Amino acid sequence: MTAPHGRRVTANLALSLDGRFHGPGGPADFTPFAPYVTTEVARDHLTRIWSGATTALLGRVNAEGFLAYWPSVAEDENADPRDRGYARWLVETEKVVFSTTLAEAPWERARVVNAPAVDIVTGLKGAGSGDILVNSSPSLIRPLLAADLIDRLYLMVFPEIAGGGRRLFDDGLPASRWALTHQEAGERGEIALVYDRVR
């Protein structure tokens, strides 16, 4: 599926049953998610997320965490091939990192922008080819949802009630309709979901 006006914009995020993308301990609290991120369903979903994308959008915190961890996985011959595939893609693809504090990107094939996500994505949609993936960065996903710029959502839902932490779908987002185009459940109760925006 191609977006009606330019490149498709996709976004991925893991959520608890109560809709949170981190636990009550703050943004670094991924305790509710840890038991599920290396399951077969989660790893297959990871491959699905990046396979059509040629640009990755990241918030600064995610960029610092991801790009400190994944490059070593790309070089690890013993790593799961799906993890290694994602790692290589992340290292090699064009990356746009949103930051108000970084002056320049310390990573290869990355540029830093200090501008609204809506403006940057609108510009990217009209140039190049391949999907634009908002890579697990809710600070970017929220304003793009509000502006109706996301065409596909890749969600992993884990069978835990976090009981605290930030939610992706806050009140105030405009109403929208989505079609379920893929679903897969794992043995531990985790569910991979792909939703396409119906316009």
Q: Looking at the domain assignment, is residue 4 inside a domain?
A: no
Domain that holds residue 131: 9-164+173-183
Give how far Cα 101 sits from Cα of 43, 69, 138, 150, Å: 33, 21, 18, 26
Q: Looking at the domain assignment, is residue 72 inside a domain?
A: yes
pLDDT at 103: 86
Backbone φ and ψ of 91, nearest 5° = -65, -40
Q: Looking at the domain assignment, is residue 198 inside a domain?
A: no
Per DSSP, helices labelled H in the chain are 40-50, 60-75, 81-92, 117-125, 138-146
pLDDT at 2: 45
pLDDT at 27: 87
Q: Looking at the domain assignment, is residue 192 inside a domain?
A: no
Q: Looking at the domain assignment, is residue 24 inside a domain?
A: yes
Q: Which of 14, 37, 50, 26 is nearest to 188 (CA)?
A: 37
Q: Looking at the domain assignment, is residue 197 inside a domain?
A: no
HSE-CB of 156 using CA atoms within 13 angstroms: 28
pLDDT at 4: 54
Q: Looking at the domain assignment, is residue 189 inside a domain?
A: no
57, with CB counted inside 10 A (0-12, 13-18, 19+), is buried
pLDDT at 1: 45
Q: Give yes or no for a contact between 131 and 7, defined as CB atoms under 8 angstroms apart.
A: yes
State how far the Cα of 133 lies from the Cα of 143, in Å rounded to an integer.
14
Q: How many domains does one find in the chain?
A: 1
> Could you list the mean pLDDT of each consecutive 10-residue stretch along the chain, which spans 199 residues?
73 96 92 93 96 95 90 94 96 96 90 96 93 96 97 97 93 95 97 97
pLDDT at 6: 85
Q: Which of 163, 156, 114, 121 is nearest to 136 (CA)?
A: 156
Q: Looking at the domain assignment, is residue 139 inside a domain?
A: yes
Q: What is the CATH number of the domain that holds 91?
A: 3.40.430.10
pLDDT at 23: 93
